[in-house]
Amino acid sequence: MSKLWDILSAAEEEEKETAKVLSQTIQTTSEELIQYQEEMLELLRRDLNTDTSQLNRDGMRLYLMELGRNSDRIPDETTLKEVVDSILDDMYGYGPAQEYMEDPDVTDVRIMGPHVIEYKKNGKYYRADKAGFRDEDHLFNWLTNKLSLTGRRFDRSEITVNALLPDGSRLHAVTDISGYSYWSEDGFHKIEPSTIVTIRKFVKFFTPEELVKRNFMASIMMDYLALTTKIRWTTLFAGGMGTGKTTTMNTIFSFIQDNHKNGVLEEAPELQPKHNNVIRLWERQKNVQGKGEYTIRQMLKEALRMDLNRIFIAELRDQIAYYFLQAIINGHPGSMSTIHANSARATILRLIALAMSAPEANRFDVLGMIQEGVQQIVQLEKTDEDEKLTAEICEIEGISGDGINLRDVFTVEFNEDGTWYWKFHGLSDKLLKQARRQRMEVPQSLLEADKYVKESGSPFLCGEYAPRHPSTNQEVKKQGPKGKINKEVMLDV
């Protein structure tokens, strides 16, 4: 190691001198960068006398720079720095996608094979014009190394994976059965088999005030959700991918009483509950011997033995919906989960379909558990410009024939300029009775709006961009975000 430290010390001094001299950056082409990467890696493989296992990123950078300078394979200092940085991004970061993961305006990154990287910025996808991975093996090795930090496996026997990365980003990958299609320059449609990786960057925690300020919902709606959370109404947050379901559930978590014990069950740790009394369980994949698997259904069984007040499941999918319904009517009112659906009414249909996939389920029991156990649905949507909003809040009234009746509490409306506001349709007797029973005070904002609805027979308009309101003389003060609702058809994968 003494030899290594001598090299690093000399290299550090030379780095400082080089930084003063360099004034221009020479952009290396993608093909050249890949070639130089391979040559640098070959130098690294041939240097058998140096132990680099204990080096951090800065130490490895100094070592690689010195290694490159002692070789005639890299043409100049600028190119050498670019090559070394790209290799370090592979080892310690996100490889060729590092630049986009560091951009605060980028929310998602999609890697389609070794040579195509796309990133979502301000709601729109763009294709990167810089070098990608060298080849499929390079991509696969980087992915395997990245997943090793999470304890997840990804190989030819486990061709899909979901993982939460150390920085809070969510990663999904699939291989062998995946690829992408494109049109070639000569006019032919082609399919390129490749590994597909999708990364959603860390979800920022938003306070209730921040969500209101972003026009995600009106302040009176936040008051309503605070009340329903405190009186222990079970809530489903529904919407398409990226509509803010997890973000909203994180925020609403802060309204839960401090003395309540909460259990969070997830595929991978993702929720950021703003509460100090939380027990967390997450799934575990089976090992190479096919043993050690731990599923959400097993977690639910354990959670029922933990004397919890509420249970939170990150997402309802397949038959887990049936067991969630059983749990909430078994002494866990006020629980929450998310579900993919295009509307509150579609949420009921999908919840029934998912619950019916359990072997022991029958429709009569499922409808009864929904009526008894679930009190409301918060439906979330996003515009074409990727601006998120609360589309409706519905209360579950009861069974009607072979279905479930819903009552609108808040619904969204759009102005001609594309801004939106909400209509409040009043409080139900069911909610007021439950509030009295729980000795919870109903916020004055809700009582006044409810009084207006009942006296006028018209909805109460709320939100920053609501038209002039007879009771408040509220006026539109400024132009807001514009867009059309993007209602994508969600498929159960």
- DSSP line for 203-253: PPP--HHHHHHTTSS-HHHHHHHHHHHHTT--EEEEESTTSSHHHHHHHHG
Same domain, 430 and 355: yes
Letter for the amino acid at 282?
W
Same domain, 364 and 412: yes
Q: Indicate which CATH number applies to the domain containing 101.
A: 3.30.450.370
Q: Which of residues 148, 183, 200 is at a domain's end?
A: 200
pLDDT at position 482 is 41
Residue 172 domain-assigned?
A: yes
Residue 159 domain-assigned?
A: yes
Domain span including residue 193 = 96-200
pLDDT at position 30 is 64
Transcribe 183-197 into DSSP letters. Answer: E-TTS-EEEEE--EE
CA distances in angstroms from 429 to 54, 66, 321, 377, listed in the order given: 66, 75, 28, 18
Same domain, 346 and 448: yes
Same domain, 181 and 212: no
State phi, psi for 135 to the nearest 5 degrees: -160, -175
Task: Kindly tell me the sign of the dihedral angle through the C-alpha atoms of 424, 417, 381, 264.
Answer: negative
What pairing do the DSSP bridges indicate for beta strands 336-340 and 310-313? parallel
Same domain, 50 and 114: no
Q: Indicate which CATH number applies to the domain containing 333.
A: 3.40.50.300
Number of domains in the chain: 3
pLDDT at position 470 is 52
Residue 358 domain-assigned?
A: yes
Same domain, 32 and 55: yes
Residue 470 domain-assigned?
A: no
92 Cβ neighbours under 8 A, 6+ residues apart: 57, 60
pLDDT at position 78 is 80
* CA dist., res. 155 & res. 176, Å (int): 10
Residue 484 domain-assigned?
A: no
Same domain, 83 and 128: no
Same domain, 142 and 212: no
Q: Which of residues 180, 200, 220 is at a domain's end?
A: 200
Same domain, 324 and 453: yes
Per-residue tens of pLDDT for the chain, all 493 residues: 555 555 545 555 554 454 443 333 334 566 777 777 777 777 777 776 777 767 777 777 787 787 778 777 777 788 888 777 877 877 788 888 888 998 888 889 999 998 899 999 877 889 998 878 888 888 888 888 888 777 777 877 778 888 878 787 889 999 888 888 888 888 888 888 889 999 988 767 889 999 999 999 999 999 999 999 999 999 999 999 889 998 999 999 999 999 999 999 987 777 888 888 999 988 877 766 677 788 888 888 888 889 899 999 989 988 999 999 999 998 899 999 999 999 999 999 999 999 999 999 999 999 999 999 999 999 999 988 888 999 999 999 988 877 899 999 999 999 999 899 999 999 999 999 999 999 999 999 999 999 999 999 999 999 989 986 554 444 434 334 444 433 333 333 2
Residue 390 domain-assigned?
A: yes
pLDDT at position 259 is 94
pLDDT at position 205 is 80
* CA dist., res. 327 & res. 311, Å (int): 8
Same domain, 426 and 369: yes
Q: Which of residues 63, 92, 121 is at a domain's end?
A: 92
Same domain, 85 and 103: no
| Phi-psi sector, 90: left (phi>0), alpha (psi -120 to 50), beta | alpha
Same domain, 343 and 259: yes
DSSP state of 141: H
